[in-house]
Structure 1
Amino acid sequence: MFELSTSSLSLLALGLYVAYTIVSVVTDPLRDIPGPFLARFTRLWYFFKVYKGSFEITNLNLHKIYGPIVRIAPNEYSVDDVEAAKSIYRVGNGFVKAPWYWAWMPPIPERANLFADMDPHHHASQRRKFASAYTMTSLVEYESSVNECTAILAQRFSELAASGQSINFGHWLQYYAFDTISLITFGNRFGFLDKGQDENRLFDAIDHHNTYSTLVGIFPFLHRFLFPILLKTGGYGTLLNFSMKQIERRRMLLKDPTARDNDGPLDFMARYLAAHEATPEKMSNDDIFTISITNIAAGSDTTGVTLSVVLYYLLKHPATYKRLQQEIDSASADGAIDDPITFRQALCLLYLQAVLKEALRIHPATGLGLQRCVPAAGAMLSGRNFPGGTTVGVNSWVAHRNVGVYGKDADKWRPERWLEIEANGRGAEVEQYFFAFGMGSRTCLGKNISLLELNKLIPQLLRKFNLILDDELSKQEWKTLNRWFVKPQNFKGRIISRTTEKVIGRTF
């Protein structure tokens, strides 16, 4: 009997794969849509571009070269079209999240988190469980928690200003975001601001988890095999164990009537544990674990990134910095804002709102496409008929530089554009192509937490301090790394207390 050797079987398998790929390309009804040559044949092109860590820039350049629809992998496309975006992200339209999201959750659909859940019905059910705690009405109750963390950060900044040390602003702003979300979620701070360091290496755990999910999601079939290893050695396992300890700590304290942690606003965990005690079939332990990890990971990263973006662009554009600081100083002198500023007062500072929106526009926290699967019936997008099962999506970095929406200078920092947009009555129109917190039914649940922190911290920092970029960074653009979140890597500088106006140039 004729037997094939291992090498012969390998060559046969390779030949069949190549033949299948060629046939798929030739018969593809969208074969004329442009894009990089290798992206027609393999997802490896997309993988290596994402791995390099700057896909947001690559994606922008692709659209400059090829137009509003670009192939980025076999059967996957990046879209830059306002009307197409309305179709893709409209509530109830049948465009479900793409398989890339599979790697962001345990490979068990019933344990999907709100970010990654690919089942719209399960997602809607889960979102209803938690949504009331994230409304702006509910979150305003947590202003005292934000004030507490803001006061501690201001104290740390005063100490660092007195020492003249150069610091990593990015780290300190993530410390702030982490302690704030932990106080809101668990009723206690993790102590990042107090210690000025990440003793439990939670930042590393989050970065590891984000890197894993970003890259493995490109080949989602691998996730089922790799996830058991991740639980033992990866960031997800670290976050899970940390969350379980925090939940148990909060559970025990809630049973102690003398615990000081039970004073003040009702934190998220207290709400969820009470709901679990009342109706465990509706609010399960898995639900509580999942929302805890989501708050810790996403809640610190997204807000930490955006706070860094606001300050970085203010420091890169001194005229903007000066105008915003003058608005804050004038409002303070007139008694229009308190110390600390309230959220409602911050909303009345029009230039502050323009600066925050421009930061969210020019450097949204996420740097990959919000990919969706075309429903079985197919869909007409940007003049093309996409068959069911095709993956399409809009990258917020691409959308936010659309000159038809944001003007010919869309690639430039200019907060004044938002004042002009409002003056021209275009606010509602522009919001339809503003992806800083996602779009449609999958809009980020933590959006209001982030806005609360942004609106309260930035005015407090500018009224108390002048910040200065390190000499090297002042002469060049900062470095970032895109692992879903586009995080700064070298955002360093010094602090001047506005009461002393003194700088000592030592290195931290």
Structure 2
Amino acid sequence: MLPLFSAVAALGVLLSVTLLAAIWRAFFPRLASVPGPFAARFTDLWYAYRIYRGGFDKDNRRLHQKYGPVVRYGVNRFSIADPLAANVIYGPGSKFTKSSWYKTWSAPSPHAWSLFSDQDAKRHASNRRQYQNTYSMSALVHYESYVDECADLFCQRLSEMMASDSWSRPVDMGHWLQCYAFDVIGMITYSKRIGFLDFGEDVGDVMRNLGDHLAYASVVGVYPWLHPLLSTVRNWLAGSRGKGRQFIVNFTQECMAAHQAKPKAEISIPEDDAKGEPQRETVDFLSKFVQKHSENPSAFTTYHVLSGCVSNMVAGSDTTSISLSAILYHVLRNPDVLNRLREEVDQHSPQDKASPHITFAKSQSMPYLQAVIKEALRMHPATGLPLERVVPEGGLTISGVFFPEGVIVGINSWVEHANKAIFGDDADTFNPDRWFREDKGRISAMNRHWMPVSVSQYLSSILGVPDYGLAMLI
């Protein structure tokens, strides 16, 4: 009986110490005065449950409406709603690093990095430089023909539905926009559509597994120490193809293998012409990655090739489809906006039927289109959680509160975009005209605090290509 008694006593002591530590953290440290949900003082389960339930973007806004510019949403997690905070936390030269929440967005290995999840600031910066030329806007515009091909097929599918009896039934435009986004990803990455628009369905369960990955990583990221065990068990139970992110990785490897088996995979990157001007031949991402690897295999490894292609699948499709869905949703709900936008599009549409598409360059001279897109992404940014960062050594004062080093702080784009001091008293209303106000100072302030999450996402939503500034920023 003695060993059993000792074990029970030891367990009792452990639970008591844990409880006392939770009480101490909740009420006695310097940050105890920061308001927030009572349960969040003791456990991060409150935050994890809210993510699991969905709608934390709205929860986060309500917290600030109730408690003010600094609120607690976890034991060591604090959300900031202060116009001066964004530049401090995310701006150039910031020493804030990504929190442990990002660990679940890649494989549970210190060597399995991705641009989105990498907590190693030096490695992240080095890898970002490796990819930045491939993902620059000047490079992305060369893929317009691929985007046009998918857009034409998308329109064809809509016409077919309108001509059939299926048009009398509801059409899930979110699903079709994700089909479109995925096939654009396939075109620019492998010079071939994956087939979502061709069949109108989730080819190979890719969408389902991407959704599973996003849900899993968001919730388990609150307790990242569970990730090595849970991801191993999930993949084992799912079989040889894995589940969630591992499924996407395996699917990407299959696409890469099929691409490389074709003769066209052997093409090289076009060299500059005699005048030093770059050639305009469209070369898919994988071919560029393979070429870059062959030129410097030690710097741009085979893992760089795979990681770039996986990022296309994970980061590109979801943010693009969400952004396009938000734009369509708000335009259809506002008939006056729809009519005004339609007039501008008609005015700028090419008369030459052989080249009917409005180019990216042309779209820049369409101010109302730009304002509609910008306003839709303000109302519905692609991410709904605080972009967590860890306070650096020495601590820092933000919005009048001193945060010791190691504390997690973050800004939610939904909270920032609802700030009436920045976007006006009608910040909760979809109003593209706010971007045409005569007050240049107000316009400048709105631009500084518009974070959907990045300017490149704004550009990508127009062109229909993946947003890599998003991955680099958050």
Counterpart position of 1:453: 464
Q: Select the residue among 268, 280, 285 that pairs with 2:285.
A: 268
Counterpart position of 1:341: 358
Q: Select the residue among 194, 216, 239 that pairs with 1:190.
A: 194
- What amino acid is aligned across from residue 255 of structure 2 in structure 1? Q
Counterpart-to-counterpart distance in 1, 2:309 and 2:444: 33
Counterpart position of 2:396: 379
CA contact (8 A) 1:100 1:218 kept: yes
How large is the RMSD of aligned CA atoms in angstroms? 2.3
Counterpart-to-counterpart distance in 2, 1:402 and 1:194: 42
- Structure 1 unaligned segments of length 5 or more: list them: 456-508
Cα gap change, 1:132 to 1:231, in 2 (>3 Å):
farther
Counterpart position of 1:243: 252
How far did 1:449 drift?
Answer: 3.6
Counterpart position of 2:183: 179
- Percent identity, aligned pairs only? 38
CA contact (8 A) 1:373 1:390 kept: yes
Q: How does 1:97-496 map to 2 (within 5 A)?
A: 97-164=98-165, 165=167, 166=169, 167-232=171-236, 233=238, 234-254=243-263, 265-332=282-349, 339-420=356-437, 424-438=440-454, 448-453=459-464
For 1:147-205, what per-residue CA distance to the aligned partner results, in whole angstroms no more than 9, with x for missing partners? 11011111111111111523111111000000001111111110111111113010100
- What amino acid is aligned across from residue 286 of structure 2 in structure 1? M
- Structure 2 unaligned segments of length 5 or more: list them: 269-279, 467-474
Secondary structure of 1:111's counterpart equals: coil
- What amino acid is aligned across from residue 302 of structure 1 in structure 2? T
More deviation, 13-22/223-232? 223-232
CA contact (8 A) 1:86 1:432 kept: no
Counterpart-to-counterpart distance in 2, 1:451 and 1:287: 27
Counterpart position of 1:3: 3
Which structure has more relative contact order (CA 8 Å, sep 6+)? It is: 1
Counterpart position of 1:500: none
CA contact (8 A) 1:205 1:239 kept: yes
For 1:444-472, what per-residue CA distance to the aligned partner results, in whole angstroms no more than 9, with x for missing partners? 7x6644442289xxxxxxxxxxxxxxxxx
CA contact (8 A) 2:71 2:79 kept: yes
Secondary structure of 1:369's counterpart equals: coil
How far did 1:217 drift?
Answer: 0.3
Counterpart-to-counterpart distance in 2, 1:387 and 1:136: 39
How far did 1:258 drift?
Answer: 9.8
- What amino acid is aligned across from residue 68 of structure 1 in structure 2? P
Counterpart-to-counterpart distance in 2, 1:385 and 1:425: 30
Secondary structure of 2:134's counterpart equals: helix
Counterpart-to-counterpart distance in 2, 1:258 and 1:103: 36
More deviation, 279-288/302-311? 279-288
Cα gap change, 1:447 to 1:231, in 2 (>3 Å):
farther
Name the count of aligned residue pairs: 445
CA contact (8 A) 1:254 1:270 kept: no
How far did 1:236 drift?
Answer: 1.4
Counterpart-to-counterpart distance in 2, 1:284 and 1:342: 35
Cα gap change, 1:447 to 1:188, in 2 (>3 Å):
farther
How far did 1:109 drift?
Answer: 2.8
Counterpart-to-counterpart distance in 2, 1:334 and 1:278: 44
Counterpart-to-counterpart distance in 2, 1:124 and 1:374: 19
Counterpart-to-counterpart distance in 2, 1:454 and 1:357: 16
How far did 1:350 drift?
Answer: 0.7
TM-score in terms of structure 2 length: 0.89
Counterpart-to-counterpart distance in 1, 2:351 and 2:115: 43
Secondary structure of 1:3's counterpart equals: helix
CA contact (8 A) 1:400 1:406 kept: yes
TM-score in terms of structure 1 length: 0.83
How far did 1:343 drift?
Answer: 0.5
CA contact (8 A) 1:185 1:292 kept: yes
- For the pair 1:71 / 2:72, whether they are aligned, the reply is yes
Cα gap change, 1:157 to 1:301, in 2 (>3 Å):
same
How far did 1:292 drift?
Answer: 1.3
Cα gap change, 1:249 to 1:428, in 2 (>3 Å):
farther
Counterpart position of 1:58: 59
For 1:19-45, what per-residue CA distance to the aligned partner results, in whole angstroms no more than 9, with x for missing partners? 111122233101111101111111111
Counterpart-to-counterpart distance in 1, 2:459 and 2:311: 15
- What amino acid is aligned across from residue 250 of structure 2 in structure 1? N
For 1:275-331, what per-residue CA distance to the aligned partner results, in whole angstroms no more than 9, with x for missing partners? 112211111111121121111122111110111111111111111111111111233
Counterpart-to-counterpart distance in 1, 2:42 and 2:188: 47
CA contact (8 A) 1:109 1:117 kept: no
Secondary structure of 1:161's counterpart equals: helix
Counterpart-to-counterpart distance in 1, 2:172 and 2:108: 37
CA contact (8 A) 2:176 2:200 kept: yes
Counterpart-to-counterpart distance in 2, 1:418 and 1:437: 18
Cα gap change, 1:68 to 1:199, in 2 (>3 Å):
same
Cα gap change, 1:14 to 1:357, in 2 (>3 Å):
same
- What amino acid is aligned across from residue 82 of structure 2 in structure 1? D
How far did 1:384 drift?
Answer: 1.3
Counterpart-to-counterpart distance in 2, 1:184 and 1:410: 36
Counterpart-to-counterpart distance in 1, 2:329 and 2:64: 26
- What amino acid is aligned across from residue 375 of structure 1 in structure 2? P
Counterpart-to-counterpart distance in 2, 1:59 and 1:53: 11
- What amino acid is aligned across from residue 201 of structure 2 in structure 1? Q
CA contact (8 A) 1:34 1:70 kept: yes
CA contact (8 A) 2:378 2:452 kept: yes
